[in-house]
């Protein structure tokens, strides 16, 4: 069995620094999409995907702003934004590139989420985030890019979804995380526990960027000299320093 190299204990200052680098990647990704020449005229389905991706980027930005500014007190609201980032991405990817047009029409007309007919052709049923993640993972796997990282989107969403929902809706997660070791009430999420959420947020933003470039613009590579690539590599360098690795 390989030994695990334990990184130095991550404090809230380390979380702030990592979130700042992730924020730079997010901003560079938005610029990369927004400033492209020869923008295509998308059909409604792709246009909806682009809107949802931008909303996902923006919720990710909000999350990272909070963690870069005050991770000790504002981690709870940051994780609530991460849930929204996740769901906007999943809906955008599925509706834009996998769903039938009538599913998109229902999404826009009835505002009941992503719905499809049951297997027996009966009433419409909601396709929730966990099922969407399983389907969208097939799109991510198609990218086959070393920059994407682990494509296990389904596992990432499954592991995080309950606590993220708890932070949004006032569930068990609030009871567990809004008390410190002395019993004082307030957000008390340990700094090391925030690092995986920052990495997940980064992964979602990268997925949205790569799907946009490949599916909308027909581009499968990113200029290695671009601001995005430089920001991404800077984030990876810092993330590796605070993440356990096999030795």
pLDDT single digits (tens) 31-77? 999 887 666 677 899 999 999 999 999 999 999 999 999 999 999 99
Alpha-carbon distance 205 to 180, whole Å? 31
> Residues of the chain with pLDDT > 90: what percent?
69
Q: What is the mean pLDDT of residues 119-144?
A: 86
> Rounded to 10 degrees, what is the CA torsion of 96, 21, 80, 91?
10
For residue 227, is it within any domain?
A: yes
Per-residue confidence (pLDDT) for residue 128, from 0 to 100: 92
Q: Is residue 119 part of a domain?
A: no
The pLDDT of residue 8 = 59
Residue 112 lies in a domain: no
CA nearest to 83, candidates 161, 158, 181: 161
Give the pTM. 0.90
Helix (H, G, I), strand (E, B) or coil at 232: helix
Mean pLDDT along residues 213-239: 90
Checking if the pLDDT of 203 tops 50, the result is yes
Structural domain contains residue 122: no
CA distance 52 to 16: 27
DSSP 214: I
Whether residue 218 has pLDDT greater than 90: no
User: What's the CA gap between 119 and 117, in Å, rounded?
Assistant: 6
Q: Which residue has the tokens 């068990």?
A: 172
**Is 138 a domain residue?**
yes
Domain that holds residue 161: 32-40+50-96+128-246
In a domain, 12, yes or no: no
- Rounded distance, CA 201 to CA 51, Å? 18
Work out the average pLDDT over 218-240.
90
- Where in 182-241 does DSSP place strands (E)? none
Count how many domains the chain has: 1
Residue 152 falls within a domain, yes or no? Answer: yes
E strand spans, 82-217 = 115-117, 124-126
Sign of the alpha-carbon torsion through 186, 187, 191, 192: positive
Round to whole Å and give the CA distance between 133 and 41. Answer: 27
Q: What pLDDT, on a 0 to 100 scale, did the predictor assign at position 152?
A: 84
135-178 confidence digits (pLDDT tens): 999 888 877 554 444 548 999 999 999 989 999 999 999 999 99
Compute the average pLDDT of residues 233-240. 92
Residue 10, in any domain of the structure: no
The length of the chain in residues reads: 247
200-228 average pLDDT score: 91
């Amino acid at each position: 069995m390989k030994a695990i190299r334990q990184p130095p204990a991550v404090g809230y200052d380390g979380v702030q620094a990592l979130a700042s680098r992730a924020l730079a990647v997010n901003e560079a990704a938005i610029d990369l999409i927004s400033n492209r020449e020869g923008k295509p005229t998308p059909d409604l389905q792709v246009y909806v995907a682009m809107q949802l991706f931008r909303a996902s980027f923006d919720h990710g930005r909000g999350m990272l702003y909070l963690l870069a500014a005050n991770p000790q007190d504002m981690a709870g609201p940051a994780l609530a934004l991460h849930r929204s980032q996740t769901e906007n991405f999943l809906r955008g990817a599925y509706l834009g590139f996998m769903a039938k047009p009538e599913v998109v029409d229902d999404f826009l007309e009835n505002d009941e989420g992503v719905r499809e007919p049951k297997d027996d052709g009966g009433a419409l049923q909601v396709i929730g985030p966990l099922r969407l993640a399983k389907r969208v993972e097939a799109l991510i796997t198609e990218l086959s890019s070393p920059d994407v990282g682990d494509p296990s989107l389904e596992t990432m969403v499954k592991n995080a979804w309950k606590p993220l929902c708890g932070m949004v809706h006032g569930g068990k997660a609030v009871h567990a995380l809004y008390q410190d070791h002395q019993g004082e009430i307030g957000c008390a999420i340990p700094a090391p526990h925030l690092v995986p959420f920052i990495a997940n947020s980064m992964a979602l933003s990268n997925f949205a960027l790569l799907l946009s470039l490949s599916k909308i613009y027909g581009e499968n590579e990113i200029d290695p000299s671009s601001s995005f690539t430089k920001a991404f590599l800077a984030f990876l360098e810092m993330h590796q320093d605070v993440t356990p690795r096999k030795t």
